[in-house]
Amino acid sequence: MYAIVETGGKQYKVSPGNIIRVEKIDGERGNACVFDKVLAISDGEGLKVGKPYVHGASVDGTIIRQGKARKVLVFKFKAKTNYRKRYGHRQHFTEIRIESINQNAEDTVSA
C-alpha cells in the first residue's frame, strides 16, 4: 500500500514505515503530523486518484528530527567586469516516519 502526498510544494510517494525528508514543518521531535493533501492511494488492488485530492484521506506521521541539509555553494561571475560573488545556503528540513495511511474515518492501515 502506498499514497502520494503533497507538502512544501513537492509530491512524495509514501508507505507505512517509510522515512521521508520534507521541507521544514513546525513541531518538536516526537510530535505527530498529518498530511491531508493526498493526491492518490493504492491499496494493491486498485488506485484512487483525487480531483485534486482524495476526499477523507490522510497520512499520519511522527517527526523524527529537524535539521539543515548540506551547504550548497553558489558562485556568480561576469567576465571582463571583475564581478565575482560567492555565497552558501543550507536548507532546513524535517525527517518524518510514516505511521499509517487512512482512506476514510473507519479504514486505517498501519505498519
Question: pTM here?
Answer: 0.81
Q: Indicate the number of domains in the chain.
A: 1
Q: What are the tens digits of pLDDT across the range 17-67?
A: 999 999 999 999 999 999 999 999 998 888 989 999 999 999 999 999 999
> What backbone torsions phi and psi does residue 3 show, to the nearest 5 degrees?
-140, 155
With a cut of 70, say whether residue 107 has pLDDT above it. no
DSSP at 65: E
Classify residue 101 as exposed, middle or buried by CB count within 10 Å of its CB (0-12, 13-18, 19+).
Answer: buried
At 106, the pLDDT band (50, 70, 90 cuts) reads: very low
Structural contact between residues 28 and 63, judged by C-beta atoms closer than 8 angstroms: yes
| Residue range(s) defining the domain that contains residue 97 | 2-110
End-to-end Cα spacing for the chain = 10
Classify residue 62 as exposed, middle or buried by CB count within 10 Å of its CB (0-12, 13-18, 19+).
Answer: middle
